[in-house]
């Protein structure tokens, strides 16, 4: 029953394991406008997604579409420079394919980053929010369907998807570097529309501090597979009652790019302790 799925994952893992010359334990997924992190990497190999078996190419502006093996602050990492979104029309199996190959590569920890709208009235554009928890509002789940018990449990426990250990490390690192950090709940939606003022209001009432169109499916899959997760949002626009701005993709990219160096600084300095 699982042959087809297992074969695909094994094919991709085999290609990458044969090609890679380092064995990173940490993977990083770069969100919109956060590609600047790649400048800090001592790159060993950069592989366009189109060369990787079973990888689709990402269609969104601001997402490059390469997989990078290299060293970040002396630590081996594999970086996904560009992700696959549900709104692009990919099924959840494709959206979460990068996570599905990580155990086969020997990766233990995944760092997810995204650009997001902020609903918490104390948030400002350019703030960084560490993700403590999420709400899945995609209306679907990447784990639907028969469960392959060799990969993970049928009914995953979701009480600590985002590692408390890594949250603590991030706060300590932020303090040392004088980087102000918010912490809160990310709600994941399909997009591609940005929210109406009433939707932002509803999401805040539901308990979310940021909203975005990624990360949740990836976190569900990574957690299911037993990976430790650290995630953060860059607030690129506000969905605060009375302050809702006319968000555009260009503004999101510009705001994310402006905060990018702070995010890079934070992750760079966390590396040796992860």
Residues contributing to the site for ligand HPA (CB under 6 A): 115-117, 191, 194-195, 211-213, 236-237, 239, 247, 252
**Least Å from the CB of residue 213 to ligand HPA:** 5
Q: Are 166 and 267 in contact (CB under 8 A)?
A: no
**Pick 78 or 255: Cβ nearer ligand HPA:** 255
**Least Å from the CB of residue 97 to ligand HPA:** 22
Q: Which residue is nearest to ligand HPA (CB)?
A: 117
**Pick 76 or 237: Cβ nearer ligand HPA:** 237
**Pick 47 or 247: Cβ nearer ligand HPA:** 247
**Pick 20 or 83: Cβ nearer ligand HPA:** 83
**Pick 101 or 234: Cβ nearer ligand HPA:** 234
**Least Å from the CB of residue 3 to ligand HPA:** 37
**Least Å from the CB of residue 256 to ligand HPA:** 8
**Pick 109 or 214: Cβ nearer ligand HPA:** 214
**Least Å from the CB of residue 237 to ligand HPA:** 5
**Least Å from the CB of residue 210 to ligand HPA:** 8
């Amino acid at each position: 029953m699982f042959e087809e799925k297992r074969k695909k994952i094994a094919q991709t893992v085999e290609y990458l394991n044969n090609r890679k010359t380092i064995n990173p334990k940490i993977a990083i997924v770069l969100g919109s406008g956060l590609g600047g992190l790649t400048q800090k990497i001592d790159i060993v190999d950069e592989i366009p997604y189109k060369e990787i078996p079973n990888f689709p190419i990402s269609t969104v502006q601001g997402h490059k579409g390469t997989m990078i093996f290299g060293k970040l602050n002396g630590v081996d990492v594999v970086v996904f420079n560009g992700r696959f979104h549900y709104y692009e029309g990919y099924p959840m199996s494709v959206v979460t394919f990068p996570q599905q190959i990580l155990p086969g590569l020997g990766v233990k920890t995944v760092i997810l980053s995204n650009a997001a709208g902020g609903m918490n009235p104390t948030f400002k554009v350019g703030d960084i929010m560490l993700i403590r928890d999420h709400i899945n509002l995609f209306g679907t789940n990447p784990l639907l369907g028969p469960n392959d018990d060799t990969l993970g449990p049928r009914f995953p426990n979701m009480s600590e998807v985002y590692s408390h250990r890594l949250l603590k490390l991030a706060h300590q690192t932020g303090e040392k570097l004088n980087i102000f950090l918010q912490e809160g709940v990310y709600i994941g939606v399909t997009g591609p529309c940005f929210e109406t003022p009433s939707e932002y209001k509803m999401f805040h009432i539901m308990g979310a501090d940021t909203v975005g169109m990624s990360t949740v499916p990836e976190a569900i899959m990574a957690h299911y597979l037993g990976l430790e997760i650290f995630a953060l949002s860059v607030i690129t626009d506000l969905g605060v009652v009375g302050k809702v701005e006319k968000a555009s993709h260009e503004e999101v990219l510009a705001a994310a790019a402006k905060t990018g160096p702070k995010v890079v600084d934070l992750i760079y300095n966390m590396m040796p302790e992860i």
